[in-house]
Amino acid sequence: MSRRKKISAAPTAASIRKNDKMTGRLLGMKDWMGPEGMYFESLLEKARKFAKLYSFSPVSTPILESYDLYKKSTRRSADNEFYAIDGEKSERMILRPEITQGLVRAYLENNLVETGLAARIYSLGPIFRREKLQTGHYRESTQFNMEIIGDRKPLAEALLITVAYNFFTELQIKTQVQINSLGTAECRREYCVKLLAFYRERGRRSKLCRSCQNNMTKNCLSLLDCKEEACIAMRAEAPQIADYLPVESREYFTKTLEFLDELGISYNFNPYLVRGLNYYNDTIFEFWPVNEDGLILGKTALAGGGRYDSMVEAMGGEPTPAVGLAIGLERTFSRIRDKNLLTGEAEDDIVFIAQLGEPARLKSLQLFDELRHAGFNVRQSFVSDSLKIQLEEAVAMRAKTSLILGRKEIMDGTILMRDMDSGAQETVVYKKIKERLARKDKLIEKKVNNRKESGLYGGF
């Protein structure tokens, strides 16, 4: 009986490193290559398209920033999370652990405040944190940041939450919005006194995990964010920050929730949500992945954000309101089941939505998403209050149609439809606008085909 030559198994990465003494990848880092790398690049492109869709302008900031930029505005006692670098002449630098601070610095250094309009900017790139190694956490990860600087209205939070909600929905990732209010710095100081008093009663401190015991005097709000079961059980009896909010913060938070209700976005009021950063005030939020039954999956948020009205002034600017959103793209990618969802989006004739006044702006945001889901290629400029400026933007992006919504139209249940080529306008019943746009698209397509047949496009 003949012997068959034994075929050895393909060498593993571990055996290659052992045999060739190859230096391996650092812990907490990831290579993107092959089909997985291709799909991840498509996710990055989808993020860029989403930012453009909601009229956010791109800003690219350095990966290496001043240590002081983050030391004063990020987590308390976070030195152990930083990748700090010593530069020349005692200069301390840092691989950015977040993007927001760099965007605010760029906003100030490049005088974006001089435009007189709220800035809607976004950035896409790597961040670096010395994270505890666990599922969903990388020491280098990619963050998709969107910031609105110069707008102190609850609709700004509603817009960012809508962007993230639609981003995850299109990727078929089910999420639940967790939302809370941290109020003002003054009310947080009062609350922390009460919270610390609670944990010091009846020996509660000794029952906390080691991390919470160390953080009690450094960042008392982190006690609410702990994921250890014993700490979670204890916080159920603790006082809640909602009871210490000033009237203005309560009204602001209530208005934000009302906007989300009108936009049809479900949320969960979470009194223990604190975000772990010391620059937030008032509304904060996170997106948690859930399964088909609505049950939360894991302990890692896919996205988070909130209002940070004191940061611009703290960095040397004038008092300026601001709110931001950050989406973790590696975490998002891990939740996408069908990666083919990331490829292929066709451009079509642009429909621009213009508005006048806050009620019209909210209604326009609803219409924007209705038309987008119906397949229309819509654009808008919700940041502007000037109809003239909005229509100039519509011309600049070569929109075929503009839809104009103001107080009168809302009262009448109508919307003004303007042909951007001829300037002709007509009043359309609001509920029939999708039907009217569809008829116009068919008419344009018919005209183009007729012109092609008559030789105006180079035919014979």
**CATH 3.40.50.800 domain span(s) along the chain:** 346-453
Q: Which amino acid is at 285?
A: F
Residue 158: phi and psi, rounded to 5, are -60, -40
Comparison of pLDDT for 174 and 113, the residue scoring more: 174
**CATH 3.30.930.10 domain span(s) along the chain:** 34-183+268-339
pLDDT score of 223 more than 90: no
Q: Please, are residues 96 and 63 in contact by the beta-carbon 8 Å criterion?
A: yes
Q: Please, are residues 171 and 339 in contact by the beta-carbon 8 Å criterion?
A: no
Q: Which of 53-62, 166-175, 364-373, 449-458 has the lowest mean pLDDT?
A: 449-458
pLDDT score of 16 more than 70: no
Overall size of the chain counted in residues: 460
pLDDT band at 79 (very low <50, low <70, confident <90, very high): low
Between CA 110 and CA 53 the distance in angstroms is 24
**What global pTM score does this model have?**
0.82
Write out pLDDT tens, residues 315-373: 999 999 999 999 999 999 999 988 888 876 445 588 999 999 888 999 999 999 999 99
Comparison of pLDDT for 446 and 114, the residue scoring more: 114
pLDDT score of 452 more than 70: no
CATH of domain 346-453: 3.40.50.800
Write out pLDDT tens, residues 105-130: 999 999 887 777 789 999 999 999 88
Residue 284: phi and psi, rounded to 5, are -130, 155
Task: Write down the pLDDT at residue 398.
Answer: 84
Q: Which of 184-188, 196-200, 443-447 has the lowest mean pLDDT?
A: 443-447
Task: Write down the pLDDT at residue 130.
Answer: 85
Domain at 34-183+268-339, CATH from 3.30.200.20, 3.40.50.2020, 3.30.930.10, 3.40.50.150: 3.30.930.10
In 189-321 the beta strands, taken as DSSP E runs, fall at 267-269, 281-289, 303-307
Write out pLDDT tens, residues 18-49: 556 788 988 888 899 888 998 999 999 999 99
Which residue's structure tokens are 């490829």?
Answer: 343
